[in-house]
Amino acid sequence: MLSSVMVGVHDWFSWVVVSTNAIVGLWALIAHRRQSWRGQPLWVFTVIAQVSMLAQVALGSWLVAQEGHAAPDLHALYGFSGLVTVGIVYSYRQQIPKHKHLLYGYAGLFLMGLGIRAMILD
């Protein structure tokens, strides 16, 4: 019973990951051009979107490890690629301060794409 509920949560939460990363990705790209779109709310929502990727991967890993579910081919690759992406983007943020909005904008859209690709495999 718990397993089927958690699979449903994992499926539903994939839309949260995709939509939040799409929104903050576009927001950051606009903020690169328009000063008025910059500020703390962008970074708060970016953290929320990227942490949602971490939560989704953790839930999927739990389903595979504890509940014995089999992930579709390459499904786990897309999830773990998202985690690596978040780590790489975070590590580069200090090196390109003038372009950090571009960095996070494209990263958000890339994470959105990874999420969509993982959903297609189901």
Q: What is the predicted pLDDT for the residue at 71?
A: 83
Mean pLDDT to the nearest integer, 24-43: 97
| Phi, then psi, of 70 in degrees rounded to 5 | -95, 125
pLDDT at 1 over 70: no
* Predicted confidence (pLDDT) per residue in 65-104, tens digit: 987 888 888 999 999 999 999 999 999 999 999 999 999 9
Which band of pLDDT confidence, cut at 50, 70 and 90, is reported for residue 116?
very high
pTM of the model: 0.92
Is the alpha carbon torsion for 49, 93, 104, 30 positive or negative? positive
Q: What is the predicted pLDDT for the residue at 57?
A: 95
pLDDT at 53 over 90: yes
